[in-house]
Structure 1
Amino acid sequence: MALNPLSYTEKVVRSFLRYQLTTYPFADERLNEQMRGLLSLDQTRDTPLLKGPYISLSRAFQTGATVESLVSEGVLHEHMRQLIPYPTMYGHQESAIRMVMAGRTTLVSTGTGSGKSECFLYPIISRSLQLRDEGAAPGICAVIVYPMNTLAEDQLGRLRELLAGTGITFGMYVGKTPENEADVTGYRLPPGSSNVDYRAKLAEARAAGEGTSVHPSEEVCSREVMRQQGSQPRILLTNAKQLELLLTRQSDVELFDNARLDFLVFDEAHTFSGATGAEVACLIRRLRSFCGRGADGTVCVATSATIVDPTNPDAARDFASRFFGVERDLIETVGEEYEEEVWADGRAVPAAPADPLDALESARAAVDVDDPGPAVAAVCRKLTGAGIDPDAWEASLHDVLARNELLYQCAELLTVPKSLAELIVEIQEAVGREVSEEELITWLTLGAAARKDSRPLVRPVVHGFLRGVQGAVVTFDSDDHAAVLHLSAEEDEDGDERRLRMPVFTCTTCGQHYYEHSLADLDYLGPAPGGGQAADGRVYWETMDVANGGVRCLFIDRLISSEDDEIDEHHPRLSALHLCLSCGSAHDANVDRCLSCGEQAGMTELQAVQQRQDREGCLSTCVCCRSNGRLLSGRFREPIKPVRAANVKDVHILAQDMIHHAERKRLLIFADNRQDAAFQAGWMRDHARRFGIRLLISKQIAARPISVGDLVHALDRLFDEDDALSSALLPEVWAVAPKEAAGTEHQLERKKLLRILVLRELTIGIKQQIGLEPFGRLKVNYLGLEESAPFIQKWTRALRIPADELVGGVAAMLDQWRRKRLVLDRVHG
């Protein structure tokens, strides 16, 4: 079934909110409950982390000519019947193809997913087939320029599917293109292989979980071969910077020997503006001049979702004229062409559901099951009173909802994106009754599922802006001084500026919470806090930012490991201080009026955490679980972390969820700059490796109990048979000892690393939440620890306890030591 954008968005947002809750786990139930309520897990649309959703409806594109008719008219080569996977073009695709084949410079401005690439790709392939039939000399026929390598790589995959077995050569020249043919990775099909061979090999690689590329014999994969006379690709994919290098470096200009340059395409042309656009415009003229082509000798095509202004088509022609150096009267623009929506004449406003929330949940559940027919029929009857055919439920539902006035008004109003709140007001005015958000989303969900002739009744497009927790803080209730959690200081809207707000941290192991503050002249390196100022027989410490010389200090109000969360007043690392709820100054005892600001705002008692002499301002050890901080790359890392989201992690989680719930497992992530993109890619790759190795371990131990040594050997065999998997998950081994046919060092290093990774998985901390053992996927048994063992029998009699209880007790003790990493590995010491 086609993806339902409303249901899809709800799933992604709900999963992201669950991640936000679990990634900052409060062991304190009261704070955890507050966190859950603030995130609004039960009503995801109300969460403060989501801006939106903004909803619009896309329209159906007008149907154009059939592929058969375009071939019959001679517009396309006759073999295009076999290459084009769809029998019919969209109207704008037909218009663009006719213009390009007629030699007109063309600007295609249609939305994402509208098939812009086909507008230039099919004419290029058709012309290449014609040149093949004519026996034309080798040489570049088309250059397609992309602003990003990712887009070029995506198009390369499409060319492989289309051109495998056709004899039409193609290649991609970007920074990562291998220099030598020997450096090309992946599987190369032999000359003469067919398209069926390519698809079979690709399916085989995917079924095996391999990430290797499959190269048809038509693909020119290396720069070395591209430069060889007679081996130039007929179709070249590149980017603007690489194209400039090709025309500048003497070693590369041979690539354009005998180039025909029938077509020059710039995808996402709106990115080539300003100074960059001027430079690329000069590059276009240099390329045409080098290939001996005039302004009218090369068909130029530009595509973009925004380059054509419907209200001023001349602006686009002016841009193309300057960019390509073509007379503006010779430039054609192509925009989207829409079908007329089909609605019934006798429409009526449906009755409001008795329970809108239940109706929404029922509709979502109905469209998501494997066999939606009966469930959707039940929902439709409950909401409209009309029955539909469960076996042909999509068309039947389409007929019923086409008479729905509320859904019709949605279609009329959502020609531009609107927030739900804005849409609700306008819908209520249009239908003359109260409409809830739940009811509105219910109708849109069903409307997106209703289809006739594979065409949905409505096509919701959902935009949402998600963010992670920006830095949680606590304030304190003026009555009982209980901690009140806020997802960020900005969201504490009820409090005034002079109010104590303390950033929140949690222990990465046990979830004990800490509150961060900074005070002037605080010295808590000994048994009790020192320093401060004296007044009226009391000592107080004024609030001072660390940047101005204040001392960072951490406080707790409950100790989770103690009974009833009460704190022992004689705890060796804790001392009670009383903080002013207005200015945050600390006092050694409770006072009616703050000795710093003079206000009677009230005091809250918190426990200050002692600091070490060599780690002033830092938490060296968690007071609850005693997890230690550590030096990492010369910097001290505390055993706690702030309740604040990291963009790189949030993007990773969102990407995983979007891929998981999507029908087509393809996703593009955009970053502000190359550095951010590189960091995001590296971070995701590293964490994917960890879970990839866990998955392989899980598969090996699922069938039978296995020893550490046998598990390492099984993994080693797996990686030895799959170099692509090995290089992806164990890059350290390949960096230290590349694999050689006659060498053994690579295998030795691989086994050593695998043993380390297995032992690391077996010694995960007791309170760690991520790992096979915390997930319930791994259980460690100890050889010889059984009821019949002499040791167990001896102590069972001596202690007079059942043998099974003694075995369990000894195993629990060994688990404690193991998960504290008190383990000796005799293989590597």
Structure 2
Amino acid sequence: MLNPITYTEHVVADFLRYQMTTYALADRALRAQLRTLLNLDQTRDTPLLKGPYFSLSKTFRRGTSLQDLGREGILHPHVANIAGHAHAYGHQESAFRAIAAGKTTVVSTGTGSGKTEAFLYPVISQCLRLRDHNAAAGICAVIVYPMNALAEDQLGRLRDLLAGTGVTFGMYVGKTPRERREVSGERLRQGASRAEYRQKVAALQARNDARAVHPPEERASREEMRTPGQQPRILLTNVKQLELLLTRQQDAELFDGALLDFLIFDEAHTFSGAIGAETACLIRRLRSYCGKGERDTVSVATSATIADRTGGNAGRDFAVRFFGVPPDQVELVREDYEPDHWQARRVANGLLAGDPIEHRQAVFQALERADHDGASDEERTRLVQALEAATGIRCRPDAWQLDLHAAMSASETAWQLSDTLDKPRPLGELLVELQRRLGRPIGEEEVLIWLALGAAARREQRPLLRPVVHAFVRGIDGAVVTFPAGRAPRLWLSAAQAEADRDPHFRLPILSCTTCGQHYFEHHVAGFDFTGNQPGGGEARGGHTVWPPLPPGENASRLLLLDRLAIDELDDDDDGTATSAPRRTAPIGFCKHCGALQNQTAQACLGCGRPGSVVGLLAVRQNSNRPGKLSSCIGCGALGGERMGRWRDPARPLRATAVADVHVLAQNMLHYAERRRLLVFADNRQDAAFQAGWMRDHARHYRLRSIIHEQLMVRTHTVGDLVAALDDLLDRDDELSRTLAPEVWSVHRKEELGRAHQGERRKFLRVQVLREITTGARQTIGLEPWGRMRVDYAGLEGAGNFHATWAPRLGCTSADLSLWVACLLDTERRKRIVWDAELKLFSRTWSEADALVSSGFTAGLDLHVRGLKVQRDPGDRKDWVAQWQSSRGMTLARQLLAKLAGSAQVDEGAFFRDLW
């Protein structure tokens, strides 16, 4: 059973870890600050989390069994066979009886209370009775949803419930195919059973095939639904489509012979105001068209919020106006609860001595492993040990849930917690109220432990506590830095956070390179120009130059600053000292109070006059053709460029993208959920379509990585062999090919005798494999950073002349020398200094006009071309040619060689020439 406390902890913690890893800051100090701000184990007051808010959901009263309701005639007897549970809740039974009596019914119960079953089982029962009497085809029930997503979710439920029953159904929305031949997915044969349907669904899911399975009862196209004698018994639709159905003649035929026994509106609270008035008119039009009066059709409205919880008549009044029925014909169904089981004599208790965080972690980990039917004796034993260590409660391993229920029902702490949560409360408010009631300090870790244990403590499968947790999370909303002390920047997750903390210092947005993690500070000032050797422009004051700050806009000059080069090790282009200013930068003074820049740092700020307020930073030189833009990263040389007519820096702000955050949250929620189904709501169709497309596109990249990993688990591959294996897999499965490589299908359709499609597919796959094996050393996403792939180099093993000559001189074994060479090659490979004879992917510059870029196989912006030599020639540029040996300073290769050689004297020039 899903424990909401541990579930929420996991989802929120994973989301914050995602924020940590997404913005790869190479600077250790900034990275440590970001970790501190986001780490749940250290603080829950991160500005990215609002809440959590806690409340308790009461246990619904158990109603009559479905079999007994079938014998009584309230439901059809077969409903008990297809339902997934034996008993109804008390409020569901009330709805069944009200609907059976012909009453207009308003079901106003909470989320997850089974509102759908409250109207669906009576509808299915009537359809089964019509089937038993061989009644003529005709719509029996119209179920209207405010959003297509809800209708599609219901459609999936109907497929599973009605497969093999002979009860027909269909969904008529904008995306419903017009003709039968346009229906995608798998159709089952006539007479197929429910078991056959489930078997087919399981088979497709095992292959990660997302296609739908259509049982013979489903009318999946408009053509089928309009065919005389084929109209569905149950019609799912939305308000706009329902109005079109009654307006267009070809669609109006769908209601010929309609019985319209039921008219149901789900989430009825959305039908308010003008929309509600228009829908009320539509209801009357539909009844009139079908020849039904207000008492001939049973109307049902469901909502979690439409009724007054204090016992008022808001729900009844709504139904009277909405459906046009007399008040005495309306039945209002509310939640009906079981009484709680608390012992009359309770004892006060609390957590035992020890670290509360360690207690919580131990209890949560033990609950995850032991709170399920397949738990081992060892896992249950560890759980009871963790419970006793944290709370002093002793339980039997084979009956720990029952023993825990008995102990907690006699706990004053647990009872006060339950009584306090009679309404939703934030964690801080909950702690204050509990301390007042218990007369002792109580921490958040203890509260979380009691709530988690209350959800796990069960008697007759009923938990003692049913906690509901709401946590509102968001991504980093534009991180900024200030300089409160010296040159050390202080990181804030947003400018609002700095303002709320009353930090008086000037705030600079922070950016990081997407390849190496080098950070930059964005600033806007008046008249700044740095396209030559030194910054120019500005205002002259007392023999110095000052650039006053301006808000971003047309009159402001954008520039990027940094305090230091974040890469710790010496680069292979270093000219001798690790403390020299990086190339393409110049020292500049920044006032940490007013934000003015000046060309000296020794005196007081020339902008505001504050003494000691100027911090020494480095300004990044700009390209004269693109002032204000970052042409390439100072740290790694990653290039910026134009895409779709817009310039894109190689560094991006530390600012979350909503679509990515939703994607990660959805993945985490599904990962920890027992039932892996999730609805994601958006403000409008455009947002929903963009979210779905973005998630689909990013998911396919992870799916391709998964397939590459599966291939590597079988055997070691060369690049060419791996591409061939992937190509063969996609050639056999067109659906998988369309999912993973839609760019190829948009360039060339697959033809039986044609070779163009296969050639383009191989190019696409080769690009993806090459990019995967050249993941940057500081990038966190990829098979190699995850430890799922290792790259070996042919010819390094064995005792060749190089090994035989140099291993003794270096005082190491041949194996150690091979490993050293592999590490050196790894550093060059992960800089994308790779020769690919087939595509020359990393050996030339790419533009949007090139076929690989225009077809979407790769984005040419991030492919920085660079070669490698033992030592550069005088005319070689550092940006284009890397080197192992330098006459002027220590390169990374020389540094690695020095570590390998230790005290041994080595002729570096001869070593690198022999290695080359």
Give the TM-score range, shorter chain: over 0.9
2:768 aligned with 1:762, yes or no?
no
Letter in 2 for 1:417: P
Structure 2 counterparts to residues 36-47 of structure 1, below 5 A: 36-47=35-46
Show structure 2 runs of 5+ residues with no match: 572-576, 842-916
Q: CA shift at 1:211, angstroms?
A: 1.6
- Whole-angstrom CA distance in 1 between matches of 2:536 and 2:260: 80
| Alignment map for 1:706-745 (pairs within 5 Å) | 706-739=717-750
1:369 corresponds to: 369
Q: How does 1:3-22 map to 2 (within 5 A)?
A: 3-22=2-21
**Cα displacement string for residues 680-720 of structure 1 (whole angstroms, at most 9, x for unaligned residues):** 11111111010011101110111211233332332233334
- Measured in 1, the distance between the counterparts of 2:342 and 2:829 equals 70
SS of the residue corresponding to residue 45 of structure 1 reads coil
- Indicate whether 1:413 and 2:420 are aligned: yes
Alpha-carbon offset, residue 817 of structure 1: 5.1
**Code of the aligned partner of 1:662:** A
Mapped to 1, the partners of 2:2 and 2:540 lie a distance apart of: 68
Rounded Cα–Cα distance in structure 2 between residues aligned with 1:634 and 1:796: 54
What is the CA–CA distance in structure 1 between the aligned matches of 2:722 and 2:74, rounded to whole Å?
Answer: 61
Q: Which residue of 1 aligns with 2:574?
A: none
Shift of 1:214: 1.4
Are 1:510 and 2:516 counterparts? yes
Contact 2:350 2:413 in 1 (8 A): no
Question: Which shifted more, 602-611 or 351-360?
Answer: 351-360
Matched, 1:134 2:133: yes
SS in 1 for 2:625: helix
Query: CA deviation digits over 1:76-132, x for unaligned, max 9?
Result: 112222122211110100000111111111010011110001111101110011101
SS at match of 2:244: helix
Partner AA of 2:359 in structure 1: A
Once residues 406 and 488 of structure 1 are traced to their aligned partners in structure 2, the CA distance between those partners, rounded to angstroms, is 38
Find the counterpart in structure 1 of residue 186 from structure 2.
Answer: 187
Q: Check if 1:679 corresponds to 2:690.
A: yes
CA distance in structure 2 between the partners assigned to 1:736 and 1:428 by the alignment: 67
Say which is worse superposed, 373-382 or 789-798, in terms of deviation. Answer: 789-798
- 1:357 is matched with 357
The residue that corresponds to 1:124 in the other structure is 123
Instruction: Give, in whole Å, the separation in 2 of the partners of 1:342 and 1:19.
Output: 41
1:380 alignment counterpart: 387
For 1:147 and 1:421, how far apart are their aligned partners in 2? Answer: 37
The 3 A distance-change label for structure 1 pair 168 and 454 is: same
Deviation of 1:827 after TM superposition, in Å, equals 7.3
- Distance in structure 1 (CA, Å) of the matches to 2:343 and 2:88: 27
1:238 positional shift: 0.9
- In structure 2, the residue matched to 1:658 is 669
SS in 1 for 2:250: coil
The 1:543–1:112 alpha-carbon spacing in structure 2 relative to 1, beyond 3 Å, is: same
Contact 2:346 2:411 in 1 (8 A): yes
One-letter code of the match for 2:480? V
Of 529, 532, 553, 1:526 maps to 532
For 1:217 and 1:495, how far apart are their aligned partners in 2? 63
Name the CA distance, whole Å, in 1 between partners of 2:79 and 2:516: 63
User: Mean alpha-carbon deviation: is it higher for 184-193 or for 546-555?
Assistant: 546-555
Question: Partner amino acid for 2:306?
Answer: I
Answer yes or no: is the 8 Å Cα contact 1:411–1:458 preserved in 2.
yes
Per-residue Cα deviation, 1:244-293 (whole angstroms, up to 9, x for no partner): 11112222112111111111111001111111111111211121122111
After TM superposition, list the pairs within 5 Å mapping 1:1-150 onto structure 2: 2-150=1-149
Contact 1:424 1:437 in 2 (8 A): yes
Corresponding residue to 1:592 among 603, 610, 613: 603
Helix, strand or coil: the match of 1:534?
strand
Query: What is the Cα deviation at residue 391 of structure 1?
Result: 0.3
Distance 2:612 2:282 in 1: 70
2:27·2:566 contact (CA, 8 Å) conserved in 1? Answer: yes
Query: Pick from 786, 789, 796: which aligns with 1:775?
Result: 786
Count residues in correspondence: 827
The answer for the alignment partner of 2:592 in structure 1 is: 581
C-alpha change, 1:764 and 1:463, in structure 2 (3 Å) is same
Q: Which residue identity does 1:233 align to in structure 2?
A: P
Q: Is the 8 A contact 1:10 1:44 kept in 2?
A: no
Secondary structure of 1:143's counterpart equals: strand
CA distance in 2, matches of 1:336, 1:114: 8
CA distance, structure 2, for counterparts of residue 386 and residue 828 of structure 1:
67
Would the aligned equivalents of 1:521 and 1:541 in 2 still touch at CA under 8 Å?
yes
Tell me the secondary structure at the aligned position of residue 546 of structure 1: coil
Residues 44 and 195 (structure 1), Cα distance of their counterparts in 2 relative to 1, 3 Å cut: farther
Q: Is the 8 A contact 1:554 1:609 kept in 2?
A: yes
Question: In 1, are the aligned partners of 2:25 and 2:31 still within 8 Å (CA)?
Answer: yes
Specify whether residues 749 and 263 from structure 1 end up closer, same or farther in structure 2 by C-alpha distance, changes over 3 A only.
farther
Q: Counterparts of 1:131-530 in structure 2 under 5 Å?
A: 131-311=130-310, 313-355=312-354, 356-370=356-370, 371=375, 372-478=379-485, 480-493=486-499, 499-530=505-536
Residues 1:615 and 1:802: Cα distance change in structure 2 (over 3 Å): farther
Give how far 1:395 is off: 0.9
Equivalent residue letter for 1:81? A
In structure 2, distance between residues paired with 1:587 and 1:455 = 70
Alpha-carbon contact 1:580-1:602 (below 8 Å) kept: yes
Greater shift in the superposed pair: 105-114 or 277-286? 277-286
Q: Please state whether the residue corresponding to 1:229 is helix, strand or coil.
A: coil
Per-residue deviation, 1:452 = 0.5
Shift of 1:665: 0.6
Deviates more, 1:571-580 or 1:65-74: 571-580
Equivalences for residues 567-646 of structure 1 within 5 A = 568-569=579-580, 571-600=582-611, 602-646=613-657
Q: 1:494 to 1:184 in 2, by over 3 A?
A: closer
CA shift in 2, pair 1:708/1:352, >3 Å: closer
Cα distance, 1:783–1:95 mapped onto 2, change above 3 Å: same
Alpha carbons 1:58, 1:461 under 8 Å: kept: yes
Shift of 1:801: 8.9
Say what the alpha-carbon RMSD is for the aligned residues. 2.5
Q: Which amino acid aligns with 2:77?
A: E
- Report deviation, 1:813: 6.0
Amino acid at match of 2:835: V
Q: SS of the residue aligned with 1:613? A: coil
Show the counterpart of 2:897.
none
* Paired residue type of 1:4: N
**Larger CA deviation: 768-777 vs 158-167:** 768-777
Unmatched runs of 5 consecutive residues or more in structure 1? none
Instruction: Please report how far the alpha carbon of residue 644 of structure 1 lies from its aligned counterpart in structure 2 after TM superposition.
Output: 1.6
1:721 shift after superposition:
3.7
Aligned mates of 1:5, 1:189 — CA distance in 2: 38
Inter-CA distance 625–165: structure 2 relative to 1 (3 Å threshold)? same
Query: CA-to-partner distance for each residue in 1:750-790, whole Å, 9 max, x for gaps?
Result: 34433332233233344433222232322333445543668
Q: Secondary structure at the match of 1:252?
A: helix
Change (3 A) 1:611 1:748: closer
TM-score, length-scaled by structure 1 = 0.95
The worse-fitting range, judged by mean Cα deviation, of 753-762 and 330-339 is: 753-762
Relative to 1, partners in 2 of residues 1:620 and 1:743: Cα closer, same or farther, differing over 3 Å?
Answer: closer
**Residue 535 of structure 1, CA deviation:** 2.2
Identity %: 52
Q: Which residue of 1 aligns with 2:836?
A: 824
Contact in 1 for aligned 2:13/2:39 (Cα 8 Å): no
CA-CA distance at 1:357 after TM superposition: 2.8
